[in-house]
Amino acid sequence: MSRLGARPGGRPEERGRRRMDRPRRTALEALREIDRNGAYANLAARRVIEDQQLTGRDAAFVTELVFGTCRMLGSYDAIIELAAGRDLDSLQPDVLDILRLGAHQLLGTRVPARAAVDTSVALAAIVVGERVCGLVNAVLRKIARRDLAQWAQRLAGGDEERRRCLLTGHPQWIIDAFAEVLPTDEIDDLLVADNEAAEPTLVVRPGLCSRDELVEQGAEATRWSPWGGVRPGNPAQLPAVRSGRAGVQDEGSQLVCLATSRVPGLGGGRWLDMCAGPGGKSALLRGIAPEHQALLVAGEAQEHRAKLVSLALRRYPHQGHQVVVADGRRLPFPDGSFSLVLADVPCSGLGALRRRPESRWRRWPEDVGELAGLQRELLASALAACEPGGVVAYVTCSPHRGETLDVVGQFTEGPVEVLDAPALLPEVPGCAAHADPRFVQLWPHRHRTDAMFLALLRKAN
């Protein structure tokens, strides 16, 4: 049995059908990894595309199937359950994933209904067996009778909040969390932006590569970051990326580093990136550090992620940085050892739903509470590690109040000065947090970046 569940050989017409369904079978393999192994959609899709050596339209179709299905998973599951007239738990996992892929083709793409149904039935026959073809055919034909708006209306009845959840593929608790920190008239724009594919954004390693080089290699310069470029396609095709002199990083992550680098009186000595994996921000700080006569220490609690940090830094001279495996809550350094501490803390990832669409269905409100406890511990540790007069940059890829304003707010009453972070990004319009304009809050619908949050805290002398 091959990785994709098809046996070699078979009748000529079956072999032709399997070739025709190669992108769909590849997408199914990615969904298996996501659903059963907890893989990230972006990483799973990239792996199976590379594994099957797909390019061009086939690779793009696989990406659309995987990302689109993951974005709308909750909506598609509700529709499948109603159309099938049975609980989802009663369906085999492969059958359910095939129905999800079929539902996305019917409700979220321009694939003709007949093609979406027929190829899904064929895929079921190959992967599961002929015995489930009748079920797959019947359910998808029933789904094809209505469009997404009609299904949402039927499922929601007169409940407008439920209808919006179904149409946009966002659980209600996430929409409510966005509404706490964003003007009401922007919520729908954000939900739409969350469902648009993020542009592949590149970043140079300062001192090793220039943005002009990325532009010469076909990238379009980022709007605000002096280090970034946007280029469709596989980033590894660029010589600068292959050589390790550039990498992949959302412009929002670049902008929080840019603001941090502009803090007046930013000291030299030693800088700490305390939650460094996989190393994108560490590489930016490493490139900036020589301007401030600073040495970068990159700490990461997990050894395999610390290796990724070392990989990101590999082209820089070793004497300018150090990578250590260390839990940010229990740092192996005396208090007051660093003039700058970047605390890019683990979070719910609600700010990166464009890139990791499956996160919206994996997270629950109680997860935010658990993460907030960890975030408070890490911020307390960061402040302790910072020298008097030094700066702590608290960063999350989540706009949720419980991971941003509420966490930082517990530390602003002590010997800490809250710096005006948006003032350090004057070229970026609308980057001040709605609930507290001292902090930076970027948004997909405003800035076409991940929803990065930044607070800059100066420790009292």
> Residue 460 has what DSSP assignment?
P
pLDDT in tens, the chain (461 residues): 222 333 333 443 344 444 448 999 999 999 999 999 999 999 999 999 999 999 899 999 999 999 999 999 999 999 999 999 999 999 999 999 999 999 999 999 999 999 999 999 999 999 999 999 999 999 999 999 999 999 999 999 999 999 999 999 999 999 999 999 999 999 999 999 999 988 889 999 999 999 999 999 999 999 999 999 999 888 888 999 999 999 999 999 999 999 999 999 998 999 999 999 999 999 999 999 999 999 999 999 999 999 999 999 999 999 999 999 999 999 999 999 999 999 999 999 999 999 999 999 999 999 999 999 999 999 999 999 999 999 999 999 999 999 999 999 999 887 899 999 999 999 999 999 999 999 999 999 999 999 999 999 999 98
- 311 three-class SS: helix
Structure tokens at 64: 């659309």
Question: Which two three-digit tokens encode residue 255?
Answer: 């902008």
pTM: 0.92
Is 423 exposed, middle or buried, given 0-12, 13-18 or 19+ CB atoms closer than 10 A?
A: middle
294-300 and 269-273 beta bridge pairing: parallel
The three-state secondary structure class of 457 is strand
Catalytic site residue 257? no
Q: Which residue has the tokens 């070392």?
A: 310
Residue carrying structure tokens 């929409």: 175
Among the listed residues 70, 165, 397, 431, the single catalytic one is 397
Residues 3, 51: contact at Cβ < 8 Å? yes
